Amino acid sequence: MQTTATFRLFGDATLTAEAVTRQLGILPSRAFEAGDRISRRSQATRGSSAWLLSSSPGIEDGTELAEHLHRLFRDLEPVTAQLWDLVDAGYKANWFCSIASYATEHAAELDARPCSASWPSPATCGSMSAARLATMGLAKRTHIGQI
């Protein structure tokens, strides 16, 4: 099984990735600003900022997805209040998860216990408002590639 996970914050042209780094005090794995060129070969520019914190430098073989999420929670839990402030300021937050497996490998499982009371989990999502879940990129159902 090959897995990875990334916590992502997106903002419009007035909400910068640099501001996220300053507010959280965490260096992102990758960051882009609105107006940056998409690539050296293209004149197209990004329409929004992006601040990305990955669980690992790349896709890992043999690591459970839950381990990737726990790594991210460990780094982000100390700044939970600041993350909610960023969401309240207009940033959109979500989780990107990738799992690739062969037919003979086991299915991925995530435990329902929350890492803290400040973070929604599948078990606590039912009690949160749909608007609050939407601003975090969470839904009451899990979608392939994004939770």
Q: Answer whether residue 147 shows pLDDT above 60.
A: no
Mean pLDDT, rounded, for 113-141 = 43
Q: Answer whether residue 133 shows pLDDT above 60.
A: no
Would you state the structure tokens that stand for residue 69, as one six-digit string? 């999420």
Q: What angle do CA 93, 65, 144 make, to 5 degrees?
A: 60
pLDDT for 113: 52
Work out the mean pLDDT of the chain and round it to a whole number. 78
Would you state the structure tokens that stand for residue 26, as one six-digit string? 């965490």
Mean pLDDT, rounded, for 90-106 = 84
Mean pLDDT, rounded, for 42-46 = 91
| pLDDT tens figures, 64-90 | 888 888 999 999 999 999 999 999 999
Beta carbons within 10 angstroms of residue 128's beta carbon? 13
